[in-house]
Amino acid sequence: MSKNIILFGATGSIGSSVRRILDKTNGEFCLKGITCNQNIDSLIEISNQYNCHDLGVSNKDISNNKKEILTKKNTIYGIENFESFINDDIDIYILAISGLSGASLALKIAETGKTLAIANKECIISLGKILVNKCNEFNTSIFPLDSEHNAIHQLLYKNHRSIKDITLTASGGPFLDLDLDRFDSITPEQAIKHPKWKMGNKISIDSSNMMNKSLELIEAKNLFHLRSDQVNAIVHPQSIIHGIINFHDNSSYAFLSQPNMEVPISSLFFPNKDYRSNDHDLDLTKLNSLDFFEIDNKRFPAFTLGKYIMQKDGIAPHLFNYINDKLVKLFLEGVIKYTKIVNFNERIIELYFKSHQNINEPNIEDLNESSIWVDENIKTIINK
Ligand code: NDP
Ligand code: MG
């Protein structure tokens, strides 16, 4: 019998990689539902191709001339209604929406006892234990799709021995060798152009200043129940090794592949690795070298800040993540300079903790209250 899937964020970069892998399966999976924010043309095209009936459009205000087609399908509007696609017949929920707007949806999926295949790191970081504990409580398996975490997941699946720590890799992004005095004038177009990965805008910006790697440390800590001192990252410009698990005897296992999201995504659909791909062949003899070095704190202050936030824990990871989301938008709109994305984040967090205690295990209300504080104060802080 085929397995049923809902793909939240079907029109994005991860969404399209998922569809490419689905095309290689032989009817074992059936795409029942798909969603977008506002990219209705693409949503309709996908629904026709995969014959799916349940369509979700997050942006209620989007005007469109496709109403007639949409009413023939089961189309719902507003992300708060996406959870109506959750039902007992669905086996796998793929969360590939960007940003934090899918947080409530993630918590609903966590109650299904099925599989939550998650690319959306923002939710894992902000919800932290709330999400992981809920999945445990309801026996829902979390399947990480983020490449580094998928690498660690695959390595851990085969190796149950207790590990010492893990290492994630970072490509270093487009500004690994750029003169430091040119960072202030970096434009959104430059920051979005990633040398190794093709991704959505938000994650591309995050990758360019190492914010993505900071977020990924926290993501890994949450997903694999590790302490802060068990999670680290290094620069590896070739992006061939994605994750490493290190054992107490100082031996390590590494996960290698070409940098393409189809590789981690295929592990969801082909858990026994029987996916025969003609793409992304890894021929090590064609690589001149594999390089590794430490992340330069001066070039990438986001990484230092991220490590501090991970250690501080409590409500700090959510603040860090939420503020970053806001600041990346402001950078893309041309309101703030590139270097201010990290600079303002640090300043806003510092001010927050001047008037608030950290909360060890924040609940949803705590997270929401801290977000409201940021919304109310961000403009004054950045205009000072
Ligand atoms: P994209 O921007 O390419 O796609 C985002 C998807 O989410 C689109 O379908 C978009 O719809 C939808 N969406 C955006 N905003 C909303 C909203 N408010 N409500 C509902 N749906 C919304 O992003 P990516 O595919 O690159 O990334 C998705 C997630 O996966 C992110 O969390 C990212 O960090 C993570 N990730 C991505 C990787 C990659 O290689 N791309 C790698 C590892 C993790 P629409 O098309 O209509 O705008
Ligand atoms: Mg990643």
Ligand 1 pocket residue status of 146, Cβ below 6 Å: yes
Give the pair of three-digit tokens for residue 19.
Answer: 């569809």
Q: Which domain holds residue 31?
A: 3-144
Ligand 1 pocket residue status of 171, Cβ below 6 Å: no
Tell me if 242 is assigned to some domain.
yes
Query: CA-CA distances (angstroms) from residue 28 to 4, 23, 76, 278?
Result: 9, 11, 26, 20
Last residue within a domain, chosen from 312, 332, 362: 312
- In the reported structure, the alpha carbon of residue 97 is separated from the centroid of ligand 1 by a whole-number distance in angstroms of 4
- In the reported structure, the alpha carbon of residue 146 is separated from the centroid of ligand 2 by a whole-number distance in angstroms of 5
Protein residue whose Cα sits closest to atom 41 of ligand 1: 199
Q: Are residues 156 and 88 in the same domain?
A: no
Task: Give, for all 384 residues of the chain, the pLDDT tens digit.
Answer: 899 999 999 999 999 999 999 999 988 999 999 999 999 999 999 999 999 999 999 998 887 777 777 888 899 999 999 999 999 999 999 999 999 999 999 999 999 999 999 999 999 999 999 999 999 999 999 999 999 999 999 999 877 778 999 999 999 999 999 999 999 999 999 999 988 888 999 999 999 999 999 999 999 999 999 999 999 999 999 999 999 999 999 999 999 999 999 999 999 999 887 888 888 899 999 998 999 999 999 999 999 999 999 999 999 999 999 999 999 999 999 999 999 999 999 999 999 999 999 999 999 999 999 999 999 999 999 997
Do 226 and 174 touch, CB atoms closer than 8 A? no
Q: Are residues 32 and 174 in the same domain?
A: no
Tell me if 168 is assigned to some domain.
yes
Per-residue DSSP letters for 88-103?
TT--EEEE---SGGGH
CA–CA gap between residue 37 and residue 56 (Å, rounded): 8
- In the reported structure, the alpha carbon of residue 257 is separated from the centroid of ligand 2 by a whole-number distance in angstroms of 13
CA–CA gap between residue 107 and residue 109 (Å, rounded): 5
Q: How many domains does the chain have?
A: 2
Q: Best mutation site among 13, 62, 81, 214 for ligand 1, i.e. most ligand atoms within 8 A of its Cβ?
A: 13
Atom of ligand 1 nearest to the CA of 16: 25
Q: Are residues 112 and 229 in the same domain?
A: no
Tell me if 372 is assigned to some domain.
no
Q: Are residues 157 and 109 in the same domain?
A: no
CA–CA gap between residue 6 and residue 181 (Å, rounded): 46
Q: Are residues 184 and 103 in the same domain?
A: no
